[in-house]
């Protein structure tokens, strides 16, 4: 009998590697599935994002067309209202001349135009629902577009996240291929090296498994619809506040609500950071650190844009962290070198760091950038904002002393030179001018009197004293008054007509009353700053006032700056009037030929006015005349009241004065709703006091 051959011993290593190869292959197939799924999700979201982008564009276009239609309706409404106002003003003027029947015709005309305006209001939401608030109307019209735009952004972010997952899975598959190669190679070797290769393959596979888990459970940013709605409301509030030049703090609760629902909502973080950013170093009211944290979080979530970095730079500046301010501002500048504000902010941060030489280079680029902008007004705005920021830094950092003065002077001279010559020059100047002082009057020797640093709200003129030496006839010079950081009035003069040395003055005048605030007067010679001074007009009870001179009536009236003025003259009447567009407050002045040159001319017009008003209303009553000074002339005044055609009780005053020098009788009417009359009396007295016929 022959012996049976012995059974071969199993190769446990080979079997183990084959099993491992099988499992790795199955694992790779799973990863391939995950990679394909992530790629499809990314592609689908990118496509949906594109669709939403197109939809948002269409919605923006539709909102623009609707807003344009509203603007047309608003213009038509304003035209009808103005026609009604002119007819009503003319009716009032005719009654001041006792022409009641003719006035009644214009009353009908005013009513017809008023009715037409009312029909326009009913026809368009801008007027009917939004009270002519075009910015609010436009923002609400854009709400659907904002919604689609947000969906576009969130879907794009999700697409990028899924794309990152897909790319991660591809990297895993590449690593698994190496693992398979090492495992397969271990089967070809007989030495101990095969164990090292198998262990390496196993280690790579284990690492890939952990890697896949990290990728699989990695977050994909999801923003809920409710979060988007809160964000949109906050964005609208922020846009409206920005357009109106006010703080956007009321938008913060909306962004808070959006982030509570979706903590990783990057755009909400950025907008909350913007809304939480103060514009002034000296008037910080918002939570700067919260704004910084939001900006940093937005960057961490992938919003690495110039606006985010630029706003962070400003926030760090407000927080006194000047190195961080400089770093983030520079990163924003690297992305957007044509954003001029970044150059100014860089210069400001460098000045705060006491690096004046580098700051000078930054301001050179800032001025050059501003000069390339669309208009001189934009250039002026940049220069004034730069000066204001430097002034605030000087106030906040007294330790800097006068180190900021050269930068301030440079910005002011850049503006003046461009205004005076059309280009920025560095001219020589020999003039020497003493520091400017201010007063309320000037004597015959050109010396300013009643010197003061503060003036009451009633002031209509302020004089500035110029004590000079070294001026030449061909020197070009300029004065520029800046009110609270913005240009109020400026003049350029091509020659100097007052001699080489001596005393001169310039003035700031507004017959309606100088606006309250802090004024800076800068004087330039040949484009160089030679003198500067500050003066304050104190606040008071009066609103900002302005004035208007009527050539037809021959008088100047003063009235609140937000009132509307009407100046009309024809063969029937001449009248200058101003009225509050939001209420029945009114002042009107007419001039009539004086028959006798005595007070009887005024008395006759008083009686004729009373008769005309009595026939036009059901309850007109007028008090006895009393002596009153008008336009510096002794005249008369009588109070009256009546109910107007809208059913509102009106309180009024009729004043009359005979100007014997001009052979004219001036009649003045002032009216306000009875409920507002007492509050308006002081203002009406000022308006009466400031009427002139010079």
The pLDDT of residue 5 is 61
What is the DSSP track for 147-199?
HHHHHHHHHHHHHHHHHHHHHHHHHHHHHHHHHHHHHHHHTT--STHHHHHHH
> What are the CA-CA distances from residue 301 to residues 234, 239, 268, 308 (Å)?
20, 24, 11, 12
DSSP β-ladder status, 649-659 and 633-643: antiparallel
Choice among 118-132, 332-346, 525-539 with the minimum mean pLDDT: 118-132
CB of 104 closer than 8 Å to CB of 616? yes
Domain boundary among 364, 397, 421: 421
Residue 123 CA neighbour count, 13 Å, CB half: 14
> What are the CA-CA distances from residue 603 to residues 544, 656, 692 (Å)?
34, 8, 21
182 vs 200: CA distance, rounded Å:
7
| Per-residue pLDDT band at 630 (split at 50, 70, 90) | confident
Q: Chain centroid to CA 334: how far?
A: 26
Q: Residues 475, 616: one domain?
A: no
Number of domains composing the chain: 4
Q: Residues 343, 454: one domain?
A: no
Burial (CB < 10 A; 0-12, 13-18, 19+), residue 581, is: exposed
Q: Residues 549, 532: one domain?
A: no
Instruction: Identify whether 225 is part of a domain.
Output: no
Q: Residues 105, 203: one domain?
A: yes
Enter the tokens of residue 411. 């910005």
Q: How many helices (H) and strands (E) does the chain have?
A: 18, 20
CB of 493 closer than 8 Å to CB of 468? no
Domain boundary among 421, 454, 486: 421
The pLDDT of residue 381 is 93
Q: Residues 72, 157: one domain?
A: yes
**Crossing angle between the packed helical segments 288-300 and 306-318, to the nearest 10 degrees:** 150
CA 619, 623, 625, 627 torsion: positive or negative?
negative
CATH code of the domain covering residue 568: 3.40.1000.10
Q: Residues 565, 647: one domain?
A: yes
Confidence check: pLDDT of 501 > 90: yes
The pLDDT of residue 110 is 94
The pLDDT of residue 8 is 60
Q: What is the extent of the structural domain holding 465? A: 432-537
Q: Nearest to residue 304, comparing CAs of 332, 343, 342, 327? A: 332
Instruction: Identify whether 7 is part of a domain.
Output: no
638 vs 540: CA distance, rounded Å:
28
Q: Residues 623, 656: one domain?
A: yes
358 vs 20: CA distance, rounded Å:
64
- How far is the first Cα of the chain from the last one, in angstroms, to the nearest whole number? 150
Instruction: Identify whether 227 is part of a domain.
Output: no
CATH code of the domain covering residue 103: 1.10.287
DSSP β-ladder status, 454-455 and 528-537: parallel
183 vs 191: CA distance, rounded Å:
14
Confidence check: pLDDT of 2 > 60: no
345 vs 357: CA distance, rounded Å:
15
Domain boundary among 421, 446, 475: 421
CATH code of the domain covering residue 270: 1.25.40.10
Confidence check: pLDDT of 13 > 90: no
CA 130, 133, 136, 137 torsion: positive or negative?
positive
Provide the mean pLDDT of the chain.
92
Q: Residues 492, 365: one domain?
A: no
Confidence check: pLDDT of 10 > 80: no
Confidence check: pLDDT of 3 > 60: no
Specify whether the backbone of 513 is left (phi greater than 0), alpha (psi in -120 to 50) or beta: left
Instruction: Identify whether 233 is part of a domain.
Output: no
Radius of gyration of the chain (CA): 38
Instruction: Identify whether 5 is part of a domain.
Output: no
**Which residues are CB-neighbours of 625 under 8 A, at least 6 positions away?**
603, 606, 636, 637, 638
CB of 303 closer than 8 Å to CB of 266? yes
DSSP letter assigned to residue 542: S
Instruction: Identify whether 193 is part of a domain.
Output: yes
pLDDT digits (tens, 9 = 90+) for 642-686: 999 889 999 999 999 999 888 999 999 999 999 999 999 999 999
Compute the average pLDDT of residues 304-319: 96
DSSP letter assigned to residue 692: B
Q: Residues 54, 194: one domain?
A: yes
The pLDDT of residue 19 is 87
> What are the CA-CA distances from residue 498 to residues 135, 462, 602, 665 (Å)?
51, 20, 48, 42
Q: Residues 176, 38: one domain?
A: yes
CB of 207 closer than 8 Å to CB of 250? no
Q: Residues 582, 651: one domain?
A: yes
**Single pTM value for the model:** 0.84
| Per-residue pLDDT band at 7 (split at 50, 70, 90) | low
506 vs 491: CA distance, rounded Å:
10
pLDDT digits (tens, 9 = 90+) for 202-255: 888 899 999 999 999 988 888 999 999 999 999 999 999 999 888 899 999 999
Place of tokens 């790795």: 24
DSSP β-ladder status, 448-451 and 649-659: unpaired
What is the DSSP track for 353-370?
TT-HHHHHHHHHHHHHHH
Q: Chain centroid to CA 353: how far?
A: 29
267 vs 58: CA distance, rounded Å:
22
Beta-bridge mates of residue 586 = 579, 671
Instruction: Identify whether 224 is part of a domain.
Output: no
Q: Residues 503, 555: one domain?
A: no
Enter the tokens of residue 77. 């409404």
Instruction: Identify whether 240 is part of a domain.
Output: no
- Percent of the chain past pLDDT 90, that is, above it, reads 79
CATH code of the domain covering residue 523: 2.60.40.10
676 vs 651: CA distance, rounded Å:
9
Confidence check: pLDDT of 185 > 90: no
81 vs 274: CA distance, rounded Å:
40
DSSP letter assigned to residue 246: S
> What are the CA-CA distances from residue 254 to residues 135, 152, 221, 265, 295 (Å)?
19, 20, 20, 13, 17
Of the spans 221-225, 230-234, 549-553, 581-585, which averages the highest pLDDT? 230-234
Compute the average pLDDT of residues 22-30: 89
The pLDDT of residue 39 is 92
Q: Nearest to residue 70, comparing CAs of 116, 128, 8? A: 128
């Amino acid at each position: 009998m022959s012996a049976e051959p012995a059974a071969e011993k199993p190769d446990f290593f080979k079997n183990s590697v084959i099993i491992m190869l099988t499992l790795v292959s199955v694992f790779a197939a799973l990863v391939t599935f995950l990679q394909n799924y992530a790629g499809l999700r990314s592609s689908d979201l990118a496509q949906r994002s594109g669709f939403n982008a197109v939809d948002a564009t269409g919605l923006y276009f539709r909102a623009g067309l609707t807003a344009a239609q509203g603007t047309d309706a608003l213009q038509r409404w304003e035209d009808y209202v103005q026609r009604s106002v002119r007819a009503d003003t003319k009716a009032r003027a005719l009654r001041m001349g006792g022409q009641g029947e003719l006035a009644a015709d214009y009353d009908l005309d005013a009513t017809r135009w008023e009715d037409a305006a009312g029909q326009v209001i009913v026809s368009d939401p801008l007027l009917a629902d939004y009270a002519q608030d075009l910015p609010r109307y436009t923002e609400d019209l854009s709400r659907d577009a904002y919604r689609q735009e947000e969906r576009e952004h969130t879907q794009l972010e999700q697409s990028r996240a899924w794309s990152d997952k897909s790319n991660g899975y591809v990297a895993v598959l590449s690593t698994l291929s190496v693992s398979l190669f090492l495992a397969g190679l271990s089967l070809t070797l007989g030495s101990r090296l095969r164990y090292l290769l198998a262990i390496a393959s196993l280690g790579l596979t284990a690492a890939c498994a952990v890697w896949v888990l990290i990728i699989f459970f990695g977050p994909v940013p999801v923003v809920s619809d409710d979060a988007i709605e809160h964000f949109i409301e906050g964005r609208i509030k922020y846009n409206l506040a920005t357009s109106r030049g006010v703080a956007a703090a009321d938008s913060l609760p909306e962004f808070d609500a959006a982030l509570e629902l979706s903590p990783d909502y990057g755009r909400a973080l950025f907008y909350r950071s913007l809304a939480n950013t103060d514009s002034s170093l000296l008037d910080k009211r918002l939570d700067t650190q919260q704004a910084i944290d939001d900006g940093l979080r937005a960057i961490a979530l992938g919003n690495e844009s110039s606006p985010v970095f630029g706003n962070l730079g400003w926030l760090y500046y407000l927080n006194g962290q000047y190195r961080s301010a400089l770093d983030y501002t520079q990163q924003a500048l690297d992305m957007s070198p044509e954003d001029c504000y970044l150059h100014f902010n860089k210069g400001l941060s460098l000045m705060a760091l006491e690096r004046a030489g580098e700051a000078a280079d930054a301001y050179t680029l800032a001025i050059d950038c501003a000069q390339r902008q669309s208009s001189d007004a934009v250039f002026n705005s940049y220069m004034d904002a730069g000066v204001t920021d430097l002034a605030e830094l000087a106030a906040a950092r007294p330790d800097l002393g006068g180190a900021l003065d050269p930068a301030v002077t440079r910005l002011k001279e850049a503006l003046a030179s461009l205004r005076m010559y059309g280009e920025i020059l560095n001219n020589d100047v020999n003039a020497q001018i003493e520091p400017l002082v201010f007063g309320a009057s000037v004597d015959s020797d050109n010396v300013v009197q009643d010197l003061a640093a503060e003036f009451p709200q009633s002031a209509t003129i302020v004089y500035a004293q110029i004590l000079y030496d070294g001026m030449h006839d061909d020197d070009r010079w300029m004065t520029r008054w800046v009110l609270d950081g913005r240009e109020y009035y400026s003049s350029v003069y091509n020659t100097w007509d007052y001699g080489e040395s001596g005393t001169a003055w310039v003035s700031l005048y507004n017959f309606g009353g100088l606006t309250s605030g802090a004024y800076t007067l800068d004087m330039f010679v040949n484009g160089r700053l030679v003198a500067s001074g500050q003066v304050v007009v104190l606040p008071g009870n009066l609103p900002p006032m302005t004035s208007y001179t009527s050539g037809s009536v021959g008088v100047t009236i003063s009235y609140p700056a937000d009132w509307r003025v009407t100046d009309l003259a024809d063969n029937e009447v001449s009248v200058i009037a101003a009225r509050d567009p939001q209420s029945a407050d009114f002042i009107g002045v007419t001039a009539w030929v004086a028959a006798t040159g005595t007070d009887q001319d005024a008395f006759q017009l008083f009686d004729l006015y009373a008769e005309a008003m009595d026939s036009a209303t059901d309850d007109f009553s007028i008090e006895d005349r009393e002596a009153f000074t008008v336009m510096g002339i002794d005249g008369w005044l009588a109070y009256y009241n009546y109910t107007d055609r809208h059913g509102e009780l009106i309180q009024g005053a009729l004043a009359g004065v005979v100007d014997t020098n001009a052979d004219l009788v001036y009649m003045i009417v002032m009216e306000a709703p009875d409920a507002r009359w007492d509050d308006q009396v002081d203002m009406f007295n000022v308006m009466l006091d400031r009427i002139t016929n010079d």
